[in-house]
Amino acid sequence: MSRIEILKTYKIYIGGQFPRTESGRYYVAKNKKGQALANVCLSSRKDVRDAVVSARNAVGGWSGRAAFNRSQILYRIAEMLEGRRAQFIDELIKQDSSAKDAETEVNLSIDRLIYYAGWCDKYQQVFSAVNPVASSHFNFSVPEPTGVVSIVAAQNTALLGLVSVIAPAIAGGNTCVVLASEDKPLCSVTFAEVINSSDVPGGVINILTGKPSELVKYFANHMDINAVVYCENDTATKKLIQEKASLNVKRVLFYDTINWKNDEGQSPYFITDTQEIKTTWHPIETVGSAKAGY
């Protein structure tokens, strides 16, 4: 007897849960041939709001974890992704990748997670400094996570573009709200399932699907977001983001010219992009000028 295939409902990912969009709207994701691939949630601004609340609540716990533990968890995501290679390759092919490109993209995505897993407990040392000052103070600067990062992911790479921007943000102790590629949303939802089974606390990564044209504004003007990442090269949208982000002086990061498939797609500087430098002055007795006692 022939069997009816059970199709997956592609839902969004907020606070460790898979709700449908609050708006009840959806759109049909199609490939280039015009074949319908899935009904995908068309998220609304209220989904953004809910996601930011979850992300904000998760900041304390995530940034407070030992750097080494964050590293373990990123590594765990890579492990889980490895186990699901076939599914991701299949989805990428459905979304117009060639078999070879799909495999390369999944491999690169896994490797990129491993790369940032390695950096989790190292970037602090590389980018911290002990500063020479002209008074008797021990003066040092360390990077600290900025908080909630909103990310509008690249449109053309369904998985790699997503992983390449999420990984550095969370490696640095931030939490994030991500808008996946509108044209190629399948991998983002499946990636959320990977995250869900990788010991990543709920709320650290929130993934929405929908139209950038509707949601970018809220990614940029929400007062509880500390940095906004935009991966496309649309002049009008960039201007909008810069204007709206000025409301609470967000960090604005445009990754519009980066080819995620190359080595330029990974660097510890992507981590420091969403870090704030804290400088501490600690009073000391200057050893050299002390006459006795040392």
Partner 1 sequence: MTAEKKIVTVPDFRYSPHIDHVGVEERASRFTKRSIKAESKLNGLKLTLNMIDLTTLEGKDTDGKVKQLCYKARHLHDAYPGLPTVAAICVYPSMVSVAKKALGNSGINVASVATAFPSGQASRDVKIRDVKYAVNNGADEIDMVISRGRFLQGDYNFVFDEIAVVKEACGAARLKVILETGELVTYDNVRKASDIAMYAGADFIKTSTGKITPAATMPVTLVMLEAIRDFYYKTGKMIAMKPAGGISKSKLALHYLVMLQETLGEAWMNNHWFRFGASSLANDVLMQLEKERTGVYQSANYFSVD
Q: Which residue in the set 247, 277, 284, 290 belongs to the binding site for partner 1 (CB under 8 A)?
A: 247
- Residue with smaller CB distance to partner 1, 174 or 221: 221
Convert residues 18-57 into a mask of x (bound to partner 1 by CB under 8 A) and - (unbound): ------------------------------xx--x---x-
Establish if 246 lies at the interface with partner 1 (CB under 8 A).
Answer: no
Could you tell me the smallest distance in angstroms from the CB atom of residue 224 to partner 1? 4
Could you tell me the smallest distance in angstroms from the CB atom of residue 49 to partner 1? 6
Could you tell me the smallest distance in angstroms from the CB atom of residue 241 to partner 1? 14
Token pair of 242 as six digits:
């810069």
Establish if 146 lies at the interface with partner 1 (CB under 8 A).
Answer: no
Question: Segment contacting partner 1 (CB under 8 A): 171-179, 197-205, 214-222, 270-278?
Answer: 214-222
Distances (CA, A) of 173 to 2, 57, 69: 50, 13, 11
- Residue with smaller CB distance to partner 1, 147 or 268: 147
Q: Which residue in the set 197, 248, 279, 286 belongs to the binding site for partner 1 (CB under 8 A)?
A: 248
Establish if 223 lies at the interface with partner 1 (CB under 8 A).
Answer: yes
Residues in contact with partner 1 by CB under 8 A are 48-49, 52, 56, 218, 221-224, 247-248
